[in-house]
Chain A
Amino acid sequence: MSHPTTLTWFAQHEFRLAWRDWLSMLTAGKPGRLRVIALAILALAAFMHFVAFSIVAKFAEIDPEPDRGTLVVITGCAVLAWSLMMSQAMESVTRAFYGRSDLDLILSSPVVARRVFAVRIATMATSTVLMAVLIAAPFINILAYRGGSQWLSAYGVVVAIGAIAAAMAVALTSALFRVIGPRRTRLAAQVVAAIVGAIFVIGLQVAAILSYGSMIPLTFLQSETVISLVPSINSLFWWPARAILGDHAALFWVCAIAAVLIAATVVIFSARFGEHALAAAGIGQGSTRQRRWVKSFRQLSSKSALRHKEWALLRRDPWLASQTLMQILYLLPPALMLWKAFGRNTDDLVLLVPVFVMAAGQLAGGLAWLAISGEDAPDLVSTAPIPARWIIRAKIEAVTGSVALIFSPFLLALAIASPRDAVVAAIGITIASVSATFIQLWFRTQAQRKHFRRRQTSSRVATFAEAFSSIAWAAAAGLAANGKWQAGIVVVIALGILVGARAVSPKR
């Protein structure tokens, strides 16, 4: 064992915690499940390789001297990966600042806090990189299998991009702390993380819609306009793309830049990390004054009191703000497409139906967790003189009402442009939202609203069931809007997912 309080000793400590956290996340705290989980991971890996094969296999054979079009597409993919990693890393940094966990112990101990935070920053970078490598691995493996081993250098680029994303996330979150203070940073960092994670793909979609009336980013990236605007083929700008394609010199420089950036971040920000954590701990002492308040009590029935409470809590939830913002951001391109389609007949609007249904299902899942599982005063509502079913009904009403409120303007606009598509979308949105809500109801656990981000780890089955149900309903709605009979098959699959989820849900 290394000497206590050295960097290696802290690294071992962090690694042990991370490993146990990861293991308990996978097994949901039941070590006996390890074999099943291992088999599930293998099955998922095989499935992801299959998916990767269907997407990238045809692009594996690339000329050793790529043209600008190829470099643009590869760079676009790299920027997309960077934006997602940056978003994830910002989430990790914010969590480290605001989740107290062991910070009180560390900061009150006689160790040099800078060392601990240096290791913690490195751990965050490592987890970001590992996650990125896991996601990218099936695609890189398929490219290497079909196009040659030079594609394996893409692993190095993924690691470098992950490190750069982590370094920038630490710098950006620290900058937010200094500029707007700890009270506002929590929400601001969530919002920025959501925007960073979505902005690139949304930007490309918007550009594609404005230029070509299509929502597919690749159409825009491969357009002559873009290719004519990008730097010349010998520019340093293409180093990451060249590194992915197996250029060893480019790979070396990309990795070197990443290493310098992450090392500089550790050196510069490890001391400030402790200051920020202390500042974040101090914000609990203040409280928000309600700007507008009712001057006198309203006469409320039990049901309306429950409804009012659910609406007020959903409206004021900071975590929800970032989640909803993400969903709404992804609705911007379809909204733009709707706007462009006004006044002319277009078949492209049918593309919007599955987008709306998918977004509604995902949003309803998040809201349903907050309302149903994230009850901060379960004892209070359970000891109130009301039947338990009223409590659940009020929560479901709040969730479905919120979804209806968000999607109504979109449906209204779609109804003007294409009434048939609007009807299909409305039915799909309703079914997807209700399905997601019921899945959360079946798998409900007692939790606090502030643990919203951990909801995916509380029940793996619920997470997958919710995602697959939304995907299936979106696919069914898309096919139905296109008048395809296969929609019926997908509906049966979606119903099967719901029946399966209900069957394996905990008995009450």
Chain B
Amino acid sequence: MNQHVALSALDIRGLCKTFDRPAVDGLDLLVRSGEFYSLLGPNGAGKTTTLRMVAGLLAPDAGSISIFGIDALNDPVAAKRIMAWISDEPMIYDKLTPYEYLEFIAGLWEIEAKEAQKRAEELMNWLGLTPYAHQRCEGFSKGMRQKVALAGALVHDPRLIILDEPLTGLDAGSARQVKNVLRERVAAGGTVIMTTHILEVAERMADRIGVIAGGRLIAEGTLAELRLKAGKGDSSLEDTFLALVAEQAQAA
């Protein structure tokens, strides 16, 4: 394993996926280990398709995906073992309780029961789920469901967490809790990749930001680097983002 690969949490090369039209078109992307990376782009830019391919939910037409040096296309099981995926629509089982859901996930990832339970209880406590641990998820609000999904993603202690619009529809309190959890993961050495339409979140939380449009990475870097590229000086991320996307649209 060379040094470049060892430092990268995610290394995507020449990734392509076409549905009726190209959704992802020769994408190259590198996310470093221990980084909070935010992926931005207009609707239909290819963000979700890219991340679904990384998570093993979609097969790419071409390209390679490496997760902490593991070839995710050749050895998906090994890649999935160290990664977690959360979508904007939390997918949990209505008829299971949070406690049962976390036990199920611990079983899927074959985590030692005592260790998993300790971690599950910590997570539920942290996310304010303990009073609801033995209630079925069927009556939970969207925020509660997202917290259960987040606890599920963290219970197996993944090295890479991929989140697709995790804050959509959450109230301010729930959104803050989710953001705190993600920050702490990064502080503890984890890697987080997140798509979001809330540019303020990307601006405040991300170490680096990637902008995708038309299935390609059109800009990448820290907020300062992106401003420089867009020639926008001290402008907000919103202005920078809109300028970059408009520039790409003009070029296309």
Which residues of A are interface residues toward B (Cβ below 8 A)? 284-290, 293-294, 296-302, 304-306, 308-309, 312-313, 316-317, 376-387, 449-450
Asked whether, in the complex, the Cβ of A312 is within 8 Å of the Cβ of B100, the reply is: yes
**Residues of the B chain whose Cβ atoms lie less than 8 Å from the Cβ of A290:** 97, 100, 134-136
Bound-complex Cα distance A300 to B116 (A): 11
Bound-complex Cα distance A317 to B137 (A): 13
Bound-complex Cα distance A377 to B92 (A): 5
Q: Which of B20-28, B106-114, B174-182, B239-247 lies at the binding interface?
A: B106-114
CB-contact partner of A383 in B78, B80, B114, B132, under 8 A:
B80
Bound-complex Cα distance A376 to B94 (A): 8
Bound-complex Cα distance A311 to B102 (A): 16
Asked whether, in the complex, the Cβ of B91 is within 8 Å of the Cβ of A297, the reply is: no
Bound-complex Cα distance A377 to B152 (A): 12
CB-contact partner of B96 in A301, A312, A450, under 8 A:
A312
Minimum CB distance partner of B115 in chain A: A297
CB-contact partner of B77 in A285, A304, A385, under 8 A:
A385
B126 at the interface (CB under 8 A from A): no
**Residues of the B chain whose Cβ atoms lie less than 8 Å from the Cβ of A293:** 97, 99-100, 134
CB-contact partner of A288 in B57, B116, B139, under 8 A:
B139
**Residues of the A chain whose Cβ atoms lie less than 8 Å from the Cβ of B84:** 383
Bound-complex Cα distance A146 to B104 (A): 63
Bound-complex Cα distance A308 to B93 (A): 13
**Residues of the B chain whose Cβ atoms lie less than 8 Å from the Cβ of A300:** 103-104, 106-107, 110, 113
Q: Which of B104, B132, B136, B137 gathers most chain A CB within 10 Å?
A: B104
What are 11 A-B pairs at a CB distance below 8 A?
A284-B138, A284-B139, A293-B100, A297-B114, A300-B110, A312-B100, A380-B85, A380-B105, A383-B85, A384-B109, A385-B77
Bound-complex Cα distance A356 to B138 (A): 35
Minimum CB distance partner of B164 in chain A: A379
Bound-complex Cα distance A297 to B114 (A): 7
Minimum CB distance partner of A289 in chain B: B135
Minimum CB distance partner of B84 in chain A: A383
Bound-complex Cα distance A60 to B252 (A): 75
Asked whether, in the complex, the Cβ of A297 is within 8 Å of the Cβ of B103, the reply is: yes
Asked whether, in the complex, the Cβ of A296 is within 8 Å of the Cβ of B91, the reply is: no
Known interface pairs A294-B103, A383-B83. Does A287 touch B140 (Cβ–Cβ under 8 Å)? yes
CB-contact partner of B139 in A287, A317, A381, under 8 A:
A287
* Chain B, range 112-147, C-beta contacts under 8 Å to A: 112-114, 116-117, 120, 132, 134-140
CB-contact partner of A302 in B108, B117, B139, under 8 A:
B108
Asked whether, in the complex, the Cβ of A385 is within 8 Å of the Cβ of B135, the reply is: no
Bound-complex Cα distance A287 to B141 (A): 10
Asked whether, in the complex, the Cβ of B107 is within 8 Å of the Cβ of A304, the reply is: yes
CB-contact partner of A317 in B56, B81, B95, B112, under 8 A:
B95
Asked whether, in the complex, the Cβ of A383 is within 8 Å of the Cβ of B106, the reply is: no
CB-contact partner of B135 in A288, A378, A450, under 8 A:
A288
Asked whether, in the complex, the Cβ of B135 is within 8 Å of the Cβ of A287, the reply is: yes
Bound-complex Cα distance A450 to B94 (A): 10
B55 at the interface (CB under 8 A from A): yes
Bound-complex Cα distance A305 to B117 (A): 15
Asked whether, in the complex, the Cβ of B80 is within 8 Å of the Cβ of A376, the reply is: no
Bound-complex Cα distance A316 to B138 (A): 12
B87 at the interface (CB under 8 A from A): yes
Known interface pairs A284-B139, A386-B77, A387-B77. Does A296 touch B105 (Cβ–Cβ under 8 Å)? no
A81–chain B nearest beta-carbon distance, Å:
36
* Chain B, range 52-108, C-beta contacts under 8 Å to A: 55-57, 77-78, 80-81, 83-85, 87, 91-97, 99-100, 102-108
Q: Which of A289, A297, A299, A312 gathers most chain B CB within 10 Å?
A: A297
Given contacts A297-B114, A301-B110, A305-B108, 7 further A-B contacts (CB under 8 A): A288-B136, A290-B100, A294-B100, A300-B110, A302-B110, A379-B87, A380-B108
**Residues of the B chain whose Cβ atoms lie less than 8 Å from the Cβ of A289:** 134-136
CB-contact partner of A287 in B55, B56, B80, B137, under 8 A:
B137
Asked whether, in the complex, the Cβ of A313 is within 8 Å of the Cβ of B107, the reply is: no
Against A, the Cβ 8 Å flags (1 = close, 0 = not) of B29-70 are 000000000000000000000000001110000000000000
Bound-complex Cα distance A309 to B96 (A): 8
- The 3 A-B residue pairs with the shortest CB-CB distance in the complex, in nearest-first order: A305-B107, A287-B139, A300-B107
B88–chain A nearest beta-carbon distance, Å:
11
A370–chain B nearest beta-carbon distance, Å:
11
**Residues of the A chain whose Cβ atoms lie less than 8 Å from the Cβ of B113:** 296-300
Asked whether, in the complex, the Cβ of A385 is within 8 Å of the Cβ of B103, the reply is: no
Known interface pairs A287-B140, A300-B103. Does A380 touch B152 (Cβ–Cβ under 8 Å)? yes
Minimum CB distance partner of A306 in chain B: B108
Asked whether, in the complex, the Cβ of B91 is within 8 Å of the Cβ of A377, the reply is: yes
A402–chain B nearest beta-carbon distance, Å:
15
Asked whether, in the complex, the Cβ of A385 is within 8 Å of the Cβ of B80, the reply is: yes
Asked whether, in the complex, the Cβ of B93 is within 8 Å of the Cβ of A383, the reply is: no
Minimum CB distance partner of B140 in chain A: A287
CB-contact partner of B57 in A317, A382, A449, under 8 A:
A382
Q: Which of B77, B112, B116 gathers most chain A CB within 10 Å?
A: B77
Bound-complex Cα distance A62 to B95 (A): 56
Bound-complex Cα distance A421 to B107 (A): 42
**Residues of the A chain whose Cβ atoms lie less than 8 Å from the Cβ of B93:** 309, 313, 376-377
Q: Which of B94, B112, B120, B152 gathers most chain A CB within 10 Å?
A: B94
Asked whether, in the complex, the Cβ of A297 is within 8 Å of the Cβ of B106, the reply is: yes
Bound-complex Cα distance A380 to B85 (A): 7
Q: Which of B83, B95, B104, B108 gathers most chain A CB within 10 Å?
A: B108
Asked whether, in the complex, the Cβ of A301 is within 8 Å of the Cβ of B107, the reply is: yes
Minimum CB distance partner of B55 in chain A: A383
B103–chain A nearest beta-carbon distance, Å:
5
CB-contact partner of B120 in A288, A297, A306, under 8 A:
A297
Against A, the Cβ 8 Å flags (1 = close, 0 = not) of B157-173 are 00000000000000000
A79–chain B nearest beta-carbon distance, Å:
37
Asked whether, in the complex, the Cβ of A313 is within 8 Å of the Cβ of B103, the reply is: no
A267–chain B nearest beta-carbon distance, Å:
35
A198–chain B nearest beta-carbon distance, Å:
26
Asked whether, in the complex, the Cβ of A380 is within 8 Å of the Cβ of B138, the reply is: no
**Residues of the A chain whose Cβ atoms lie less than 8 Å from the Cβ of B104:** 300, 305, 308-309
Asked whether, in the complex, the Cβ of B109 is within 8 Å of the Cβ of A385, the reply is: yes
**Residues of the B chain whose Cβ atoms lie less than 8 Å from the Cβ of A379:** 55, 57, 85, 87, 91
A319–chain B nearest beta-carbon distance, Å:
11
**Residues of the A chain whose Cβ atoms lie less than 8 Å from the Cβ of B105:** 305, 380, 384
Bound-complex Cα distance A317 to B94 (A): 10
Q: Which of B77, B107, B135, B140 gathers most chain A CB within 10 Å?
A: B107
Asked whether, in the complex, the Cβ of A297 is within 8 Å of the Cβ of B92, the reply is: no
Bound-complex Cα distance A378 to B93 (A): 10
**Residues of the A chain whose Cβ atoms lie less than 8 Å from the Cβ of B100:** 290, 293-294, 312
